[in-house]
Amino acid sequence: MKSRWSEPDARQYAGDLALRVYTSRLLGAEPSLVLHGGGNTSVKTSVTNLFGEEEAVLYVKGSGWDLETIEAAGFAPCRMEPLLRLAKLGKLSDREMAAELRKSLIDVNAPSPSVEAILHAILPARFVDHTHADAILALTNSPEGEQRVREVFGDRLVYIPYVMPGFKLARLCAELYPAQAGGETIGMLLLNHGLFTLGETAKSAYERMIELVSLAESYLAQRGARGAGTGVREPAASGPAPKALRGDIAALRKAVSAAATAPVILSVHNDADALNFVRRPDLKEVSQQGPATPDHVIRTKRVPLVGRDVAAYASAYREYFREHGDACLTMLDPAPRVILDPEIGLCTIGRTAKDAGIVEDIYRHTMEIIASATALGGWHALPARDIFEVEYWDLEQAKLRKGGSPPIFTGEVAIVTGAASGIGKACVASLLARGAAVVGLDRSPGVCSLHQRKDYLGVACDVTDEAAIGRALEQAVQCFGGVDMLILNAGVFPPSAPVSTLPSEAWRATMSINLDANLVLLRECHPLLKLAPRGGRVTVIGSKNVPAPGPGAAAYSASKAALQQLARVAALEWGADHIRINTLHPNAVFDTGIWTPEVLASRAASYGLSVQEYKTNNVLKVEVTSRDVAELAAELCGPLFAKTTGAQIPVDGGTVRVV
């Protein structure tokens, strides 16, 4: 591992806390050191209090902050004196410790200190860095792990047997570190947990971390365990056709959602590394040992599911809880967070796409750690009891009790056609705002960059191409696990032409996009919508031209009317599958690409109206926007319309010919 320290960059950070921010970000930039909020850092300094007195203060990473992006505000400033006094207590509960840590803050608005704040306080160095380095975990979780790390690091580290993080660990370190530390000591190793390095400067603590982790990496490399890979090294055999997997993945997601008692996002990864690991001949042995470090259990649960028997996994989890829990604890949902299936690949699960992505990152590192430890002679995680204690830590249970209600569509997946602009673009935004993961389809490549976030997937897709629709649905299901909502919005409004001169080509082109493509989308999505945990929902974007066609719009009016009939028949046929289908009929939505200022002015003038009068030429004298339509489209998929199907709702401010 190479040091990322840069003297020119470091000179831009003046003061202890600023340098603490700088090197914390350097550590956070190395995924093989810390992942998603893991690890913590601190610096001891002094401040002048209100009485003009110098007071020793520990700035330690605050709860909820990530080292990769941490700022000065992310460090909790704690008075050193109470922390050192706490370390001398014989007993302190987690809740008492958390309360005392809050009391030690010099700023009541600061984040809550890391649960390892006391441990940072007792270590005799100004700067302290703590990581869960992959290479260190591969060593400590292998046979004779303690002997191996002592061989690698010698007297440079103090070695602490595994104890659950928090006060117990701090108390043990307060006893063992002074007794074992010597002139060569530059850090401390917590077996099966992580590495601490110490320094009087930010640079020295950071570079000692890089140096020690590099020694561990070299040890692994010399024994053929560094870069050992995730399993068998021959290229992974090609899997079944994508379409064959689509239904399997959606069915698996439905089973997981049932176990979790809420919809989940299930992301599939079938790259070579993932498939190599899930096809290991020893998969059931190595994958069922436990996480690389107990911290990961909050995200991944103790073990993954091998195969697809979610019910058996949930039953085993309940037994795990009965064996280790008690009446004071609230059991977490028994659904897996990682699934390893030789056919599908690596599946990572979360209530949101971001959560599923975090699980993926953690488990990919776990696969590499397992491979390295196995190459050393075997992979051994901590006993289930130790993992359970972290999973059901009182502080974590308290977070659950405080948790608020998630957005209404959390864990659900929506597909929107014609998503690059106008009503489709607004529908994407409305669904994202309600917590859904959204797949946007459009002919325009711009749909791919519409949003840069984990819960959005843009796919350039011509919906008149059946094969392209199949590929797009496969991408959607592999990314998020299924389809719960479908917004049929893509369409065209061809140039005006009377029936007497309407070209056949224009007629067929309009029908192809406005009608035929929607038939294919409905047909291909039906098996997926049937597997939606809360039932499938379809919103069709129709048109005022269905109840009130206009001259010159025969192709458009006929295509939208036919689409409406298709939706009505589908609503009749699919009710038994718990799929509801409703239609919106917008009119005069002018904030779209086709309505340029010039076109608006021209159309308004043709009616003898100003632009504003033209835009509000309806019964209510209001302007109808894409967002207005999108908000109602999203609401139709929500619980307020749970008992409505086959409905047709105008969104037009009141059209005289319709009313």
Active-site positions read: 556
Q: What is the DSSP string of 97-109?
A: HHHHHHHTBS-TT
Residue 520 in tokens: 């294919």
Length of the chain as a residue count: 659
Say which residues have a Cβ less than 8 Å from residue 519's Cβ, sequence separation at least 6. Answer: 566
Residue 236 in tokens: 């992974």
Amino acid at 271: D
Contact 259, 265 (CB under 8 A): no
Contact 616, 600 (CB under 8 A): no
Say which residues have a Cβ less than 8 Å from residue 91's Cβ, sequence separation at least 6. Answer: none
Handedness of CA 113, 114, 116, 119 (dihedral sign): negative
What's the CA angle centered on 597, arms 596 and 602, to 5 degrees? 100
Edge to edge, the sheet with strand 579-586 lists 456-460, 437-442, 413-417, 485-488, 536-541, 579-586, 648-651
Write phi, then psi, for 128 (nearest 5 degrees).
-130, 130
Residue 477 in tokens: 């299901």
What's the CA angle centered on 69, arms 67 and 71, to 5 degrees? 90
Contact 585, 652 (CB under 8 A): yes
Residue 298 in tokens: 């909050």
Contact 440, 450 (CB under 8 A): yes
Residue 444 in tokens: 């325009």
Q: How many CB atoms lie within 10 A of CB 172?
A: 16
Can you list the pairs that 221-227 forms with residues at least 24 positions away whose Cβ atoms lie under 8 Å? 223/375, 223/376, 224/375, 225/138, 225/371, 225/372, 225/373, 225/375, 225/376, 226/135, 226/372
Question: 176: burial class by Cβ within 10 Å (0-12, 13-18, 19+)?
Answer: middle
What's the CA angle centered on 228, arms 148 and 277, to 5 degrees? 120
- H or E element at residue 197: strand 194-199
Q: What is the DSSP string of 516-556?
A: IHHHHHHHHHHHHHHT-TT-EEEEEE--TTTTS--TTBHHH
Percent helix, strand and coil across the chain, each rounded to 5? Answer: 45, 15, 40
